[in-house]
Amino acid sequence: MSETPRRSSRLNKNQEESSKPKPKLVDNDIEMEEAPEHLHSYATRTYPKLSLPSAAFSPLLDIKQHFVLFTKSAKTHEARFAIRALRSVASLRKRLNAHVLARVVAGAFGKDEDVRKRLVGYLGPEAATSITAEDEASLTKHDTPEVDVYLHLLVMIYLLDQGQLEKGIELSNLTISIVQELNRRSLDQLAAKVYFYYARFYEVAGRLAEIRPTLLSAQRTATLRRDDDTQSTLINLLLRNYFHYNLYDQADKLVSKTTFPENATNNQLARYMYYLGRIKAIQLEYTESHQCVLQAVRKAPQNNVTAGFQQEANKLLIIVQLLLGEIPERSLFRQPVLRKALLPYFQITQAVRVGDLSKFQETLAAHSATFHADKNYTLILRLRHNVIKTGIRMISLSYSRISLRDVCLKLHLDSEEDAEYIVAKAIRDGVIDATIDHEKGFMRSKENVDIYSTNEPQHAFHQRIGFCMKLHNDSVKAMRFPLKTVNIDAAEVEAARDQERTLVQEIAEADEDMDEDHDEL
Amino acid sequence: MAITEVKHLAQALNKEYNVPNPDLAKCGQYLSQLKIALIELQYLTHEDKHNNIEELTLARDVLEIGAQWSVRTQDIPSFERYMAQLQTYYNDHSELPASPLKYNLIGLNLLCLLSQNRISDFHTALEMIEPEEFHNNPAIQHPIKLEQSLMEGSYNRVWSSRSEVPAKEYLFFIDILMDTIRNEIASCSEKAYTSLPLKDAGTLLFFTNMEDILNFAKERNWKVNPVEQKAYFHSDADEKINIPADQIIQQTMFYARDMDRIV
């Protein structure tokens, strides 16, 4: 029984997080952690007992409400309260100002406490004057350090929005050391955010290389403590850090030596998949790269806030698809969020589709600056080879016999000898099915083989059935039944759960059997 | 060993290496002494950011000579070690004055990766090069063009690139590359032609005398007909395709089992 509540709380958490919007990733926009307002109101509506109706209007009350949530989260060891508070930080961010922050700080710390002096100091001299006697009077001490760290985080966000980088870097260093000293599990979600803004400050200041050792050691600690949130955030921060300096080699080593936590939020997973896809693309492992980027695109929430990430991920997706020899769907380029950003990529796609080498070179030259800025130039350069391949395939399909001289002219190649080598290589790589007659200098295409006379349909059939079966089995395994069922007969639930358990067991056993069968055969 | 001694040694090495026909064995001796000395001094890098630019440049120059020396003595593992050590100086110490040899060595490294067919490492290394150098530096452009021609299959261009090398150290790797290419061409030809006159095979494979061609044909198991002067390649067209019975039985059993569970 002890297993079940934990599981259900995790499920709950996942549901909450899947509705969380995806921050922009690659865009240099400072607005990284935006959330649409309606999400906040969604939280308010669903949990009316916890959020006061007026809370939505005053940032001051909002923050105080968050204090309650953090305290509750620390006392009950339920991460979801902290997550809920952190989720509304994005909407709070727009309403933050020095006065509000100063008043909140005054409401949480006594006049002579060091923390208060420090935080108000960061907010600037005017902020101190806005503290009213009422704030002093309403002083409520919080005995949990979460509130302390949360206030630090808010001040950090404020400094970032104000562009006060020097101060922000100082404060974030301080906050990091506080978080590291405390070592509390209830701080995990907050710590992840603190690290995020810490890295953001250094990135905006252009000093990313300096924080690598700190991030690496924090990542080790987080892994040892099984702190999923911090771990996933830190891995992504490190990857972003390496990518910023084009250190793909080191990024690859990091990926191979770490395991990305399974319970990481969707947003972190989407980022990780994007980074992974990029590494794989550079290493010429296009199939894997395609899978990763596709997952990144699908996991990322589809709204205007995440436009930056969607654009970047889709650009990469298009290139990888082209490198694989596939042509991306036309509808992709029509989406309003993507249309403008993807225009250069659209033209490249067209050139590859028709196998026109000169058009490809033209497009490449025209948009070279864009491709460099997107860090996709070298990947696109590799497409030249694909353009030639498509060209050869077109020729092979339309002519049963063609002289190498004509191939050379059609593909704008340098010489007939070149054409011969290129065609020979295409034959070897399985691009076309043909033979070359060297003495007479022509290429003869072989008759098309009937695909239904091979084993190919059988493979495709098996693949599809396997996919359907897996989907069914996975859904059975993922089924959960409500813990507290007031209305349903308890015995019925128990029976259903038993049934589920046997089913899962059966599937596991069957898998083992399959393995044995396999061995016997 | 003190820093003054290292400086002294480095000067001696510099002098020895930069004459028209350097004594490579002697340079090797200097280099191994210097390496030990540098390790003792932690390669003149300090954790606390108070690096002496002059000292760092010294260490970098020694390593650069080391890398070139390795190419001349045809020692690839040693070249790779020197390059790995040099990366720190090129990437993490932007305060150093740019080295004139930097892009030459990076180009060499690219070519080295290419000649060993480590294409994915080649592309990873390529990403680290700044865009302006990428387009304008002949030392970088050479390996990039080479890789493109290789991927396309324009082996002719690879062959002619031999005469356009930016530095004489490049030739060492290009020669290694030539062997790789020959094998590539051979495997393409096996698939693309049913038969090929020996003389033409020689032109395709960049051989000049008949004996080399015959030896090569033997290596690759080509059937040579001495009367016609033709090489015949093995064709796999008449191989029989069997019905994969085992596999189909297995798959059908799997379907049955799973369907049973659903029903």
pLDDT per position as a tens digit, A364-421: 999 988 888 888 888 898 888 888 888 888 888 888 888 888 888 888 877 888 888 8
pLDDT digits (tens, 9 = 90+) for A454-470: 778 888 889 899 888 88
Give me the CATH number covering residue B180.
Answer: 1.25.40.990
Do A323 and A354 lie in one domain? The reply is yes
Predicted pLDDT of residue A44 = 38
Do A344 and A394 lie in one domain? The reply is no
B 95-154 near A (Cβ less than 8 A): 119-121, 123-128, 131, 134, 144, 148, 151-154
How far, CA to CA in Å, does B74 sit from each of B62, B68, B113, B163?
18, 10, 14, 20
Q: Under 8 Å CB-to-CB from B36, ≥6 apart: which residues?
A: B1
In chain A, residues with a C-beta closer than 8 Å to the C-beta of B262 are 472
Given B133, B164, B194, the domain boundary residue is: B194
Distance CA A356, CA A343 (A): 18
Give me the CATH number covering residue A398.
Answer: 1.10.10.10
For the question of an ipTM over 0.85, the answer is no
Do B181 and B223 lie in one domain? The reply is no
Do A357 and A506 lie in one domain? The reply is no
Distance CA A31, CA A35 (A): 10
Do B184 and B238 lie in one domain? The reply is no
Question: In whole angstroms, what separates CA A4 from the centre of its chain?
Answer: 29
Quote the strand ranges of chain B, DSSP E. 195-197, 223-225, 230-232
Q: Under 8 Å CB-to-CB from A506, ≥6 apart: which residues?
A: B261
| Best to test chain B binding among A411, A412, A438 (most B CBs inside 10 Å) | A438
Minimal CA separation from B251 to chain A, in Å: 7
Contact (CB, 8 A) for B15 and B30: no
Do B160 and B207 lie in one domain? The reply is no
Strands A401-403 and B230-232 come out as unpaired
- Judge: A455–B120 Cβ closer than 8 Å, yes or no: no
Given A178, A205, A240, the domain boundary residue is: A240
Do B237 and B247 lie in one domain? The reply is yes
B15 Rama sector, left if φ>0, alpha if ψ -120 to 50, beta otherwise:
alpha
- Judge: B191–A283 Cβ closer than 8 Å, yes or no: no
Do A300 and A340 lie in one domain? The reply is yes
- Judge: A417–B152 Cβ closer than 8 Å, yes or no: no
Structure token digits, residue B111: 């070519």
Structure token digits, residue A444: 């003869």
The answer as to whether A364 is a domain residue is yes
The answer as to whether A256 is a domain residue is no
- Judge: A521–B196 Cβ closer than 8 Å, yes or no: no
Residue where the block lists tokens 């490492």: B121
Predicted pLDDT of residue A269 = 92
In chain B, residues with a C-beta closer than 8 Å to the C-beta of A515 are none
Do A365 and A270 lie in one domain? The reply is yes
pTM value surpassing 0.80: no
Distance CA A29, CA A392 (A): 44
- Judge: B127–A248 Cβ closer than 8 Å, yes or no: yes
Do B150 and B260 lie in one domain? The reply is no
Predicted pLDDT of residue A345 = 92
Given B194, B220, B247, the domain boundary residue is: B194
- Judge: B128–A246 Cβ closer than 8 Å, yes or no: yes
- Judge: B124–A285 Cβ closer than 8 Å, yes or no: no
Do A218 and A287 lie in one domain? The reply is no
Low-confidence spans in chain A with pLDDT less than 70: 1-57, 448-449, 482-491, 511-521
Compare all CA atoms of chain A with the CA of B191 and give the residue at the minimum distance: A428
Minimal CA separation from A325 to chain B, in Å: 14
Question: In whole angstroms, what separates CA A53 from the centre of its chain?
Answer: 34
> Which of A283, A385, A422 lies nearest to residue B120, judging by beta carbons?
A283
Predicted pLDDT of residue A346 = 92
Give me the CATH number covering residue A73.
Answer: 1.25.40
For residue B234, give its domain range. Answer: 195-263
Do B156 and B49 lie in one domain? The reply is yes
Given B194, B223, B252, the domain boundary residue is: B194
Length of chain B: 263
Do A426 and A465 lie in one domain? The reply is no
Predicted pLDDT of residue A316 = 93
Given A396, A413, A445, the domain boundary residue is: A445
Do A213 and A294 lie in one domain? The reply is no
Do B190 and B202 lie in one domain? The reply is no
Question: In whole angstroms, what separates CA A246 from the centre of its chain?
Answer: 19
Given A206, A223, A240, the domain boundary residue is: A240
Minimal CA separation from B192 to chain A, in Å: 5
> Which of A375, A427, A458 lies nearest to residue B192, judging by beta carbons?
A427
* Count of the separate structural domains present in chain B: 2
Distance CA A332, CA A318 (A): 9
Do A334 and A404 lie in one domain? The reply is no
Is the pLDDT at B160 greater than 90, yes or no? no
In chain B, residues with a C-beta closer than 8 Å to the C-beta of A239 are none
Distance CA B57, CA B97 (A): 8
Do B49 and B165 lie in one domain? The reply is yes
Lowest-confidence region among A402-416, B44-58, B116-130: B44-58
First-last CA distance in chain A: 41
Supply the mean pLDDT for chain B.
Answer: 78
What residues form DSSP beta bridges with A401? A444
DSSP letters spanning B192-240: H-SEEEHHHHHHHTT--SHHHHHHHHHHTTPEEETTTTEEE----TTPP
3-state SS class at A459: helix
For residue A358, give its domain range. Answer: 265-381
The answer as to whether A250 is a domain residue is no
Do A233 and A278 lie in one domain? The reply is no
Do A172 and A59 lie in one domain? The reply is yes
Distance CA A346, CA A334 (A): 10
Do B141 and B261 lie in one domain? The reply is no
* Count of the separate structural domains present in chain A: 4
Higher pLDDT, B112 or A510: B112
Do B229 and B145 lie in one domain? The reply is no
Compare all CA atoms of chain A with the CA of B49 and give the residue at the minimum distance: A210
What residues form DSSP beta bridges with A443? A402, A436
In chain B, residues with a C-beta closer than 8 Å to the C-beta of A420 are 204
**CA-based angle B31:B33:B38, to the nearest 5?**
90
3-state SS class at A292: helix
B262 touches chain A (CB under 8 A): yes
Do A376 and A412 lie in one domain? The reply is no
Report the C-alpha dihedral over residues A503, A504, A506, A510, rounded to 10 degrees.
Answer: 140
Higher pLDDT, A301 or B28: A301
Residue where the block lists tokens 């020694």: B62
Q: Which of A35, A109, A27, A19 is nearest to A67 (CA)?
A: A109
Compare all CA atoms of chain A with the CA of B159 and give the residue at the minimum distance: A418
- Judge: B153–A422 Cβ closer than 8 Å, yes or no: yes
Minimal CA separation from B226 to chain A, in Å: 18
